[in-house]
Amino acid sequence: MAAQDARLRREVATCSRMLVDSGILNYSGHVSARVPGTDLLIIQRSHDVRATLAPERLLLVDLDGTPIAHDGEPPSEVFIHTEVYRARPDAGAVAHFHHDPTTVFSVVDDVPLVPVKNHAARWADGIPVHPDPSHVDNPRKGQDVARTLGTRHALLLRGHGEVIVAADVRALYADVVHFVENAGALALAARMGTVKGLSGDELARFLATFKREKHARKVWKYATAPAAHRGLVPAGWVLDQEAGGTATSGAAPFAAS
């Protein structure tokens, strides 16, 4: 249990730091991970700087948004995470961020956010726009977001930001990167001419041979290696994660930090 906790904490901290470095997370937004087999999640403290998140500072929180044996408060929009986890047993990791070049697709009608890159096949079933732009700062609003999301893997909060859902933190990181990449490619295509998004058949052909877990590991390794080299994350975190998170350094067990 302690080894699993340490791995999850390092992955959430690593993912957050790398997304800040990529210009996707900033002073706001957050990444969480569900503790497997429980109704608990790991998420940052409200005012901790995303660029320097430390595993031992992360909170263990229940699905009511209440910290478990921790000194600190989760982000005010923790209810995005808690209510998505409550509604989606398949969700193992959630990201909420405010990436303006992507968010603008929530306020235009002429260019919907459709797949124009093959990895956007992840969202072949659609990217809904949640109509309420206000902060998701209570359970009811979180439940509304979860209903808008339904069984899909991403949504836009109108004039607000994004929510991405994946099975684990590594897959989540790849999805966030690809989501933003697709939005950028679509914006460029729209300036060049009429957009012809990838068809359902094209996306299905891609998915027929796509090995998602292998790809997520590849993207994670590609990102963490230079991040460790540049000192963005401690090299020991990356080595521990590659070893499966069995090292004892890092964070304390679930109920003790």
Could you report the per-residue pLDDT of 61-111, keeping only the tens digit for each?
Answer: 999 999 997 789 999 999 999 999 999 999 999 999 999 999 999 999 888
> Residue 87: how many CA atoms within 13 Å on its side-chain side?
22
Strand order in the sheet with 154-157: 59-62, 40-43, 30-34, 93-97, 161-166, 154-157, 129-130
Report phi then psi at 145, rounded to 5. -60, -45
Report phi then psi at 127, rounded to 5. -125, 95
Query: Among 3.30.950.10, 3.40.225.10, 3.90.10.10, 3.30.465.10, what is the CATH number of 2-242?
Result: 3.40.225.10
C-alpha–C-alpha distance, residues 4 and 10, integer Å: 10
Q: 86 pairs with which residues across the strands? A: none
Percent of the chain residues topping a pLDDT of 90: 86
Amino acid at 77: E
Answer yes or no: are the C-beta atoms of 4 and 252 closer than 8 Å. no
Position 125 confidence tier, pLDDT thresholds 50, 70, 90: very high
Could you report the per-residue pLDDT of 180-207, keeping only the tens digit for each?
Answer: 999 999 999 999 999 999 999 999 999 9
Give the mean pLDDT of 120-139.
Answer: 97
H or E, element range at 168: none
Give the mean pLDDT of 108-121.
Answer: 94
Averaged confidence pLDDT in the chain: 92
201 Cβ contact list (under 8 Å, min separation 6): none
Domain chopping of the chain, boundaries: 2-242
Answer yes or no: are the C-beta atoms of 44 and 57 closer than 8 Å. yes
Position 4 confidence tier, pLDDT thresholds 50, 70, 90: confident
